[in-house]
Structure 1
């Protein structure tokens, strides 16, 4: 899932300082799971904004709406009625949803109410950990299902480095060495021979702008 955290209310108040009527847009997707952008958080932020502006003697009208996903145009269109009524929108979706919302409802300014952190797994209640950096060239088949880009502090494709000791990373004794985890996993799987396989450098160069994925069979069906 995409993990986000709420921006400080003070920062959001600065963004919306010029406006008298705004919409706070929530999402029932990942941001709801990590307790940062669902219906409950939309209501909480709306209350905080109203109270802060009231104390300043600068009243503001805050509309609230949460949709299934903000990364899908079908659901973004549900904001149409409220979007027509406001001067600005604060989105509590991930960076993808924020940008798509801004594109759909241009020229209405759309501001981020959260900071998008990483692609992570839910380790425990209220605890998420980065598992993937969405590099687009997955090597999990070679590393026992543990991502060296996300789990190694140096993002090494061929490790470990010389700084790890007793299974811990040199950056901190509290951080597991990603390549030690890979070694132990491959050992348990009986696949230690994969440690000798060289993984070539990834092609990070993008000469055609943002990455895109097109399912031709779906576009043909639509046409």
Structure 2
């Protein structure tokens, strides 16, 4: 699981800038679990944007926006709302943001509403995230008995 945290709303507003019409994309997996990009968070950011005079053309929450086929299907299913948008706000990790950017045929500007923190294991209670992978590209777990020397 990729752990993310919400960006401050003022930072999101600054990034979006003059874009008036926004389409919001959440994440049904990692960001939902982190409470940064699920249904509740998409509705919250929609309300905040509208309070600041932005128009939210629509929203969608693919299970995993980092999977190209899923984001393509969700963009196609929401074609009208997507075509009206001047920008996308993605409430997911950096992988989801990049996937949206790469799979949008209209090349709509894409902004992130989250900061990606680390790869994690979620405990059996579903409440505790434990950093286990720094995604360093130099995995030695086969030598260290499954313990990452970078994160633990």
Determine if the TM-score, normalized by the shorter chain, exceeds 0.5.
yes
Match of 1:150 in 2: 151
Structure 1 CA distance for aligned equivalents of residues 127 and 115 of structure 2: 16
125 and 67 in structure 1: CA distance in 2 versus 1, 3 angstrom threshold = closer
Does the CA contact (< 8 Å) of 1:28 and 1:38 recur in 2? yes
Match of 1:104 in 2: 103
Q: Quick check: 1:60 aligned with 2:54?
A: yes
Once the two structures are superposed, the pairs formed by residues 48-197 of structure 1 within 5 Å of their partners are 48-51=48-51, 53=52, 59-62=53-56, 63-77=58-72, 78-80=74-76, 81=79, 82-105=81-104, 106-123=106-123, 126-151=127-152
Instruction: Report the CA distance between 1:125 and its aligned residue.
Output: 5.7
Structure 2 CA distance for aligned equivalents of residues 60 and 142 of structure 1: 52
Can you give the 5+ residue segments of structure 1 that lack an aligned partner in the other structure? Answer: 54-58, 152-223
Larger proportion of strand: 2
Instruction: Note the alpha carbon deviations across 1:39-71, whole angstroms, 9 max, x for none.
Output: 2111111111212x1xxxxx2211222111111
Instruction: Report the CA distance between 1:100 and its aligned residue.
Output: 1.5
Structure 1 CA distance for aligned equivalents of residues 122 and 42 of structure 2: 22
Does the CA contact (< 8 Å) of 1:92 and 1:112 recur in 2? yes
State the structure with more CA Rg: 1
Instruction: Report the CA distance between 1:75 and its aligned residue.
Output: 1.1
Does the CA contact (< 8 Å) of 1:24 and 1:91 recur in 2? yes
Structure 1 CA distance for aligned equivalents of residues 88 and 127 of structure 2: 27
Structure 2 CA distance for aligned equivalents of residues 136 and 20 of structure 1: 39
Match of 1:26 in 2: 26
Structure 2 CA distance for aligned equivalents of residues 127 and 109 of structure 1: 34
Structure 1 CA distance for aligned equivalents of residues 119 and 23 of structure 2: 27
Match of 1:195 in 2: none
Query: Could you tell which deviates more after superposition, 4-13 or 99-108?
Result: 99-108
Does the CA contact (< 8 Å) of 1:34 and 1:126 recur in 2? no
Match of 1:36 in 2: 36
SS in 2 for 1:24: strand
Q: Aligned-pair RMSD on alpha carbons? A: 1.7
